[in-house]
Each structure stands twice: as C-alpha cells, then as structure tokens.
Amino acid sequence: MTPRSDGNTAAKRILELPVLLERLTPLRARGLKVVFTNGCFDLMHAGHAALLEAAAAGGDALVVGLNSDASVSRLKGAGRPLVPQHARALLVASLRAVDYVVIFGEDTPAQLIEQLLPDVLIKGEDYPLDQIVGREVVESHGGRVVRLPLLEGFSTSALIRRLRDDAL
C-alpha cells in the first residue's frame, strides 16, 4: 500500500517534521521514492494542481513543503497570504496527488530538504537549475532535481492583481 492509497483524511496527512520523518522511514525501507516540492499555495489554481500531479508521478510519495503565514508575508509582502496556513495545508493535503504536507517557517525550504533528503526534488521550470534551493544536497545524496513545465496563464500574483483591478 502506498501513502496515496492509505485512506487517511487530509487533516491526517498534515504532519510535523519529526512525525513525517517517521512515516517516511518504512517507505524508504521498501524502496519507495520520496518526491518533494514546496510553495506558498495561496489561492490554489489549476497551475498548482497540474504541478502537483506531475510531481507525484515522479515517485511513490509526494511531500509538499508549505510556507507558513509568516514566511509568505515576508516573501510576498503585506496582505499575504490571503488564506491562512492551516486552510492552505488542508486544501493541498486534500489533493489525491499529495501524500503529506509539512509547514515550514523559513523563507526557503533548505533546512527541510536537508532533513528530508528526498529522492526527487521538483520545481517549476521558472526556476533556473542553479537557483533551486536544496539542489546540491539532493544531488550529493544521489537524488535528482526535476524542473517541470508550468501551466501557462496561471499565477497567484497575477490572479490577485486581476481581482484587485476588477474591484476598483
């Protein structure tokens, strides 16, 4: 049985890092591949869903690192996130492609990646390979980094701008 078929509800798949590491240990012992990606996921859209579906296809268990509210605010500015972290985590965890969600408070997932040591690190192709946080750590442990194409026309920031413009 893989994590995606274990019947856990979305809330049960949002884990603190120590519990997540415990859950991954038996999967790795069975030779299953852990895939990791991360993001803010503020205002989920089709681009997010497509990226997560494609990421899940890269291995056996997809772990999504979700920026905390404080992290999103530092990265995106005042007024963000629009959706609080627990609600964002529930939404991401409810997607069939996602096995586990872990919230992190740093601006980058570097520390999280160092502790998880995923077999596959996924980012969108908008990130140049040399700017993908955690790339060196993953590759030095025999893992690989994959850049996936983005679904054209979808951007949370652009969506927010459009909503604000329409409200004026």
Q: Tens place of pLDDT for every residue, the chain, 168 residues?
A: 556 656 679 999 999 999 999 999 999 999 999 999 999 998 888 888 999 999 999 999 999 999 999 999 999 998 899 999 999 999 999 999 999 999 999 999 999 999 999 999 999 898 899 999 999 999 999 999 999 987 676 566 666 667 667 766
* Range of the structural domain that residue 132 is part of: 3-167
- Say if residues 20 and 102 touch (Cβ distance below 8 Å): yes
Confidence (pLDDT) at 81:
94
The CATH number of whichever domain residue 107 belongs to comes to 3.40.50.620
Confidence (pLDDT) at 126:
86
Number of independent structural domains in the chain: 1
What is the SS3 assignment for 38?
Answer: strand
Confidence (pLDDT) at 156:
63
Which string of b and e fits 60-98 if b means at least 16 CB within 10 Å? bbbbbbbbbbebbeeebeeebbebebeebbbbbbebebb
- Say if residues 145 and 42 touch (Cβ distance below 8 Å): no
Confidence (pLDDT) at 150:
77
pTM: 0.89
Question: Hey, how many other C-beta atoms are within 10 angstroms of the C-beta on 148?
Answer: 19
